[in-house]
Structure 1
Amino acid sequence: MKDASKPFGSPRAILFDLDGTLIDSAPDIAAAVNELLAGRDLPPLSVDRVRAMIGGGVMKLVERAFAALGSPLAGSVLEEANRDMAPIYRRHLTGLTKLMPGVREVLTHFHLNGTAMGVATNKPQLATREILLHFHLTEYLGAIVGGDAVTNLKPAPDALLLALDQLGVEPYEALMVGDSISDVGAARAAGMPVVLLRGGYTHVPVEELGADLVCDSLLDLPSAMRRLRDAA
């Protein structure tokens, strides 16, 4: 990988995770999970419990939810539950979801600075686009890559590499911003530096996940990057 110190401070492109990074979607995701569980006569899970299950795609979410209630699913039974989840999930995208602090301000900042931006997420493509349209964020984004647009979900690098290809930017010229170990793994596999934000969806303290930089929120990202650029 080429020297990442310069693009880290002044990248040509920034890729963002979605859930826990740009949006707080846990309440909507919990509502979808609980609708699925209710259809199988199982009790609901709290938002906090569901928040801890987010990451790895919808099927992994379904698997974790049933396992948490002592009713683990596998094989064709898990696949059936995942199929049942699809329309339920689509009904719970924006009703309770909110933007994370500073999202619009920070995207506007990088847009005005001429930095290309994209989203690389494990959330399904149509759901991702619907949410971004709802919050009027698509105007900032030159690439939107959901989990079902690639063969392998994060922490594989597929989504990041596809987004960068759409932006016309090499990995060493870009930066990944996320909130979880999957984002770190994907960025490392793609050959990109990675910043993690506190307050996202991770069990492990974010400082222990191996990111190049940790910020309290997106609002801190521009100033942190300026310090890195000036120190380079």
Structure 2
Amino acid sequence: MKTAVIFDLDGTLVDSSPDIAAALNKAFAPWGVSELTAPEVLGMLGGGPRALIAQALTAIDGPLDDESLDEALARYSAEYLAAPSAKTEFFADAAKVIPKLAARGLKLGICTNKRTELADLLLEHLGVRAYFSALVGVDRAAYPKPHPMHLEQTMAELDVTPEECVYVGDTAIDQSTARAAGVRYTHVAWGHEIEGNDTRLECFEDLMPIVEPPGSPPTV
């Protein structure tokens, strides 16, 4: 029986693409380039802020030299920090299932390539921060995803082993991270297409038989 569930954040638990798109468009405005939509941005998430900036500028034919990337990242960071959660919402039934998992005694964590401060603000805004005992953003990870040490650090903070843990994500980066760390991976149905036969979650309620197999005693 599993004793911990660790989640990716953007694209897995929450749809933050409207707020991220707004911040990107404000950051890129001085260059007079076309604006990005939330669905376009959603497909770019998962690799961390600098990778996001590079993908976004490529998509709109913006400048890609190092100086421009640094400038865009700084402007984006300021814009996003100023308004990180105005339009961000949970995917599927996350708001209901997170408290349900915690009530069954499961340890919950976040392993994300989002910066820790922003992840913390989002979870507070959505009213679920208190349920997560570990939150390891890209800035707290010595080696961020897809390196397994990012997930291993999150497990260490929860005091669980790979055998006791499930990792839930939405990208091939998440899948690779989990496999390298020896952790069971589950992929949300609204995520990116991936290869392999990993468990697919149509909703977060689908986690319940994974963490509490039929016939197992209740945890609370």
Give the structure-2-normalised TM-score. Answer: 0.91
The residue identity in structure 2 corresponding to 1:43 is S
The residue identity in structure 2 corresponding to 1:96 is K
CA contact 2:11–2:42 (8 Å) conserved in 1? no
CA contact 1:15–1:118 (8 Å) conserved in 2? yes
CA contact 1:18–1:121 (8 Å) conserved in 2? yes
What is the aligned-residue RMSD (CA, Å)?
A: 1.8
Provide the C-alpha distance between the structure 1 equivalents of 2:214 and 2:178, rounded to a whole number of angstroms.
18
Provide the C-alpha distance between the structure 2 equivalents of 1:209 and 1:76, rounded to a whole number of angstroms.
36
CA contact 2:4–2:164 (8 Å) conserved in 1? yes
Provide the C-alpha distance between the structure 2 equivalents of 1:225 and 1:140, rounded to a whole number of angstroms.
17
State the identity %: 32
Q: CA deviation at 1:72?
A: 4.3
Aligned to 2:33: 42
Provide the C-alpha distance between the structure 1 equivalents of 2:5 and 2:154, rounded to a whole number of angstroms.
10
Aligned to 1:180: 171
SS of residue in 2 equivalent to 1:147 = coil
The change in CA–CA distance for 1:89 and 1:171 in structure 2 (over 3 A counts) is: same
Provide the C-alpha distance between the structure 1 equivalents of 2:76 and 2:206, rounded to a whole number of angstroms.
36
**1:83-112, CA deviations, whole angstroms, 9 ceiling, x for partnerless residues?**
222111212311010011211221122111
State the 4+ residue runs in structure 1 displaced beyond 2 angstroms: 74-77, 208-212, 223-230
Is 1:193 the equivalent of 2:184?
Answer: yes
| Greater displacement, 37-46 / 20-29 | 37-46
Is 1:57 the equivalent of 2:48?
Answer: yes
The residue identity in structure 1 corresponding to 2:81 is R
Provide the C-alpha distance between the structure 1 equivalents of 2:29 and 2:199, rounded to a whole number of angstroms.
41
The residue identity in structure 1 corresponding to 2:111 is A
Aligned to 1:209: 195
Q: CA deviation at 1:76?
A: 3.2
Aligned to 2:59: 68
| Greater displacement, 36-45 / 176-185 | 36-45
CA contact 2:8–2:168 (8 Å) conserved in 1? yes
Is 1:107 the equivalent of 2:98?
Answer: yes
| Greater displacement, 20-29 / 101-110 | 101-110
Aligned to 1:161: 152
Provide the C-alpha distance between the structure 1 equivalents of 2:110 and 2:215, rounded to a whole number of angstroms.
23
SS of residue in 1 equivalent to 2:122 = helix
The residue identity in structure 1 corresponding to 2:205 is L
Aligned to 2:139: 148
The residue identity in structure 1 corresponding to 2:169 is G
Provide the C-alpha distance between the structure 2 equivalents of 1:228 and 1:64, rounded to a whole number of angstroms.
44
5+ residue gaps, structure 1:
1-9
SS of residue in 1 equivalent to 2:31 = coil
Provide the C-alpha distance between the structure 2 equivalents of 1:42 and 1:229, rounded to a whole number of angstroms.
58
Q: CA deviation at 1:42?
A: 1.2
Q: CA deviation at 1:52?
A: 1.3
Provide the C-alpha distance between the structure 2 equivalents of 1:110 and 1:28, rounded to a whole number of angstroms.
28
Aligned to 2:71: 80
Q: CA deviation at 1:227?
A: 5.3
**1:171-194, CA deviations, whole angstroms, 9 ceiling, x for partnerless residues?**
222110111111101101111010
The change in CA–CA distance for 1:116 and 1:227 in structure 2 (over 3 A counts) is: closer
